[in-house]
């Protein structure tokens, strides 16, 4: 993980809204839920950083409970799991996963070719039913981007030298040195 710059919550929301329209026509549009997670993270931690992740960072993100949006059984159990384990779980189920969880599968397939977009994470779990039983209490915790992260690895889109933009609520432990500054309108001094 490379710490790029401190950013304001307004900047985080602006980037989120650019990629996540509230009125997107989709039966399982969860953009309002994701925005709620961002607001909870801001209330809990109050600081945000723009960071760049490599493949290893993405695979280590902890995903909270996820019910597969009308499918058969949870994709992510209540204690949570890293992205790498979720990908292994989908691969192990193969075509059965696609049949039993058509909404999640459609999202994963769409991400096979969709443009990369920022991830939204927190260093601690936020309030909400998805996070209540999360076993990991400190680390890289998902707020938005579950299907993207799983799909990127599932479809081989994350090479070892590829970086992914993310917005992280809270201060990462042992942060690496900051990189070049982002545009002044986005940074906090």
To the nearest 5 percent, what fractions of the chain are helix, strand and coil? 35, 15, 45
Note whether residue 182 is domain-resident.
no
49-83 pLDDT, tens digit each = 999 999 999 999 999 998 876 677 788 999 999 99
Note whether residue 188 is domain-resident.
no
Total tally of structural domains belonging to the chain: 1
Q: How far apart are CA 159 and CA 162, in angstroms?
A: 5
Note whether residue 91 is domain-resident.
yes
Mean pLDDT of 113-125: 96
Q: How far apart are CA 59 and CA 84, in angstroms?
A: 5
5-14 pLDDT, tens digit each = 999 999 999 9
Give the number of other CB atoms < 10 A from CB of residue 33: 12
Q: Residue 39, exposed/middle/buried by CB under 10 A (0-12, 13-18, 19+)?
A: middle
Note whether residue 126 is domain-resident.
yes
Note whether residue 98 is domain-resident.
yes
Q: Which domain holds residue 17?
A: 2-174
């Amino acid at each position: 993980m490379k710490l790029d710059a401190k950013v304001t919550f307004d900047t985080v929301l602006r980037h989120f809204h650019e990629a996540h329209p509230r009125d997107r026509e989709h039966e399982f549009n969860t953009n309002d839920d994701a925005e709620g997670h961002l607001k909870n993270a801001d209330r809990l931690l109050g600081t945000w950083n723009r960071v760049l992740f490599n493949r290893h960072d993405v695979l280590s993100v902890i995903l909270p409970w996820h019910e597969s949006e009308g499918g058969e059984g949870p994709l992510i159990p209540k204690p949570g799991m890293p992205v790498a384990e979720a990908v292994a779980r989908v691969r192990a189920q193969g075509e059965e996963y696609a049949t039993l969880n058509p909404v999640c599968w459609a999202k994963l397939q769409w991400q096979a070719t969709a443009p990369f977009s920022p991830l939204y994470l927190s260093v601690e779990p936020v309030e909400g039913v998805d996070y209540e039983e999360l076993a990991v209490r400190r680390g890289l915790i998902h707020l938005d981007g579950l299907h993207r992260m799983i799909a990127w690895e599932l479809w081989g889109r994350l090479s070892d030298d590829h970086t992914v933009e993310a917005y992280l609520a809270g201060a990462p432990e042992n942060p690496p040195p900051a990189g070049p500054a982002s545009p002044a309108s986005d940074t906090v001094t």
